[in-house]
Chains A and B, each alone.
Chain A
Amino acid sequence: MARYLIGRLGLMLLTMACASFLVFAVCEFTPGSVARKSLGPFATQQQVQLLMEKLKANDPLMVRYGRWLGVLLGLIPDPLQDPGTGLNFTDWRGKQYFGNFGYSTLNKLPVNDIIWERLGNTALLGGIAFLLIIPFSILFGVLSGLKEGGGLDRSLSVICITFTSIPEFASGVFLVTLFVILWPLLPGTSPLNTDAGWSLPSQLVLPVAVLVVYDFGYVARMIRVSMIGVMEKPYIRTALLKGMSTRQVVLGHALRNAMIAPFTVLLLQINFLISGVVVTELVFAYPGFGRLILEASLFGDVATIEAATLITVAIAVTTQFIGDLGYVLLDPRVRIS
């Protein structure tokens, strides 16, 4: 078991290293954009050249990636922190420490000062959405999987397929039109402060609804397929013939077995929600992680993009791992070999 865990951890670190290098290569395709963007549009070409030299942005890609990795691991100080660059960047955590994501050229702050707060906001949004997706998808999936091809199955399936066809920005527009413009019940933006007089819970309703609407149908479809498979099993027929009520059979026998396969699917939705929050947070001006990724990508803020990449990949690999572990716990037939 210990060897298995170490192996998984090693694989996770390898995945993160590869992913961060790929992102670095894509973002630093045109090096020096950092210098131009830090100095603003009115800086002369000479000033940009000077800063690029100071930042050593002309070094080969591998050297720059190595330097970024060194800063992250706390082996070398961040070159941006050098007073010679004239950028006045300081970090209260110290010059070099483990987990130093460097400076966000977009926000003119250490990445660590911004990213965790944004991630917390997104965790709140995604967490509530996730907690709602589970019961909705189980309800829809189990009900439609009880009798394949029946009237209930067909109507629920059409509802689920329709909801999965509504991208977040479209459902955002629909919901805002309904509940903000036609029937002013909820706020159209969610900046997470109460300056405009809306309470925090009311600001969360629409963003959460947008995420749930797009995602729950897909999960319900997966649960449906699994449920259909279980309902065809001989032990279900036996239980029914024994005279047990449908409710007893479904709750006592079918549900647990039908949830084994979709368990992984449910966990993968955490990864999927990170995609979803990019659009949702933009629609509702929500100060979250997804919008940070979008803004950083548009600005070319490599330090922030890299930090975000590492965090998302870590979340993805961890959920995958929890999925595998949970699979073992739920299904005694699967054992680690």
Chain B
Amino acid sequence: MSALTGSPLKVSAAATRTVGRRKRKLLFRSRTAAIGFFLVSFWVLAALFAPVLPLASPTQQDALALADPTPSAKHVLGTDLLGRDVLSRLIYGARTVLTVAPLSVAVAMLVGITIGMLAGYYGGWIDLLISRISDILLAFPVVVLYVILIANIGPSILNIVIATTIASAPGIGRITRSLVLGLKQQEYIAAAKLRGENALYIMVVELLPNCRGMLIVDACLRIGYTIITIGILGFLGLGLPPPNPDWGGMVKESTTVLNVWPLMSLFPAFAIVSLVLGFNLLADGLRELRKP
């Protein structure tokens, strides 16, 4: 019995691996996807290796640089209003943003996929209840929702995760629901039901893997949006409390001296754009790959 079930499994594993390798090759054939991958990897690597890179401390103030915060040999991208090294703050800021954004999206995906699966699989009043609550939350303009939530519950990593989940889970739920509605009619779901599998098994083992592609693309886009949102919160003065380096906050602080030292604002603004662009290009590449 084990020999019989063993071989097809092995074959399928090998096949998946080849498909995976082919997709990876394809990812680099698409120039946009490759650029996206490069941009994201750049920031991920910079964030990972921040402590071992030869950088100034992101919080230490250099009093001598206050008089002239423009780029110099000592501070390659210059210093900010408090004389702190901009390059170092950008790279340490990447650590914050690349922790908070994927974490928020992961939690939002978990909640969104769960409610979407429940709504799509069971239908009826469960679907009606979930869809109505989602509609109410989706009626709020996103930034307004974030501002009201964060201004009242206070800025912290946990609260940003909570706010992202409230803002994004309904959208993810809606996508999952429509995917599940399409898949529910398939024969293999009926077969699983006939075998007597329970609902949880069908949702996790049968339905989820088939929704995977679209959801990965969506997650990629959402990480980009969440990075923008974290930047917006920082810019509105609702970002993580100082001295955490925060890209949006860096742009905000330096806009007061924009007419004297524009570079101080431009560097963090470019950092956000490059990282978001990376995720968006990557999502686009992944979507192209899904096409037969």
Genuine A/B complex: yes
A170-B273 CB under 8 A given contacts A279-B235, A293-B147: yes
Among the stretches B57-65, B175-183, B224-232, the one at the interface with A is B224-232
Cα separation A44 to B122 with both chains bound (whole Å) = 57
Secondary structure of the B side of the interface? helix
Does B70 count as interface, using CB distance less than 8 angstroms? no
Does A177 count as interface, using CB distance less than 8 angstroms? yes
Does A164 count as interface, using CB distance less than 8 angstroms? yes
Does B281 count as interface, using CB distance less than 8 angstroms? yes
A161 pairs with B135, CB closer than 8 A? no
Instruction: Give the number of chain A interface residues (Cβ < 8 Å).
Output: 52
Contacts of B107 in A (CB 8 A): none
B266 pairs with A177, CB closer than 8 A? yes
Does A23 count as interface, using CB distance less than 8 angstroms? yes
Does A22 count as interface, using CB distance less than 8 angstroms? yes
How many residue pairs between the two chains, A and B, have CB atoms under 8 Å in the bound complex? Answer: 132
Cα separation A180 to B32 with both chains bound (whole Å) = 33
Does B280 count as interface, using CB distance less than 8 angstroms? yes
* CB pairs A–B below 8 angstroms (26 shown): A18-B136, A26-B153, A161-B280, A161-B281, A165-B273, A165-B280, A166-B276, A169-B232, A170-B251, A170-B269, A170-B272, A188-B258, A271-B139, A274-B141, A275-B141, A275-B144, A278-B147, A278-B232, A279-B235, A297-B148, A297-B151, A297-B152, A300-B151, A300-B152, A305-B148, A309-B148
Q: How large is the interface on B (under 10, 10 to 19, 20 to 34, 35 or more residues)?
A: 35 or more
Does B34 count as interface, using CB distance less than 8 angstroms? no
Contacts of B224 in A (CB 8 A): 165
Cα separation A308 to B262 with both chains bound (whole Å) = 34
Residues 16-44 (chain A) with a chain B CB within 8 angstroms: 18-19, 22-23, 26-27, 29-30
A176 pairs with B248, CB closer than 8 A? no
**A→B interface (CB under 8 Å):** 15, 18-19, 22-23, 26-27, 29-30, 154, 157-158, 161-162, 164-170, 173-174, 176-177, 180-182, 188, 271-272, 274-276, 278-279, 282-283, 290, 293-294, 297-298, 300, 305, 308-309, 312-313, 316-317, 320
A275 pairs with B136, CB closer than 8 A? no
A-B pairs with the 7 shortest C-beta distances?
A297-B151, A275-B143, A165-B277, A170-B269, A275-B141, A274-B141, A316-B139
A173-B255 CB under 8 A given contacts A15-B139, A272-B141, A275-B141: yes
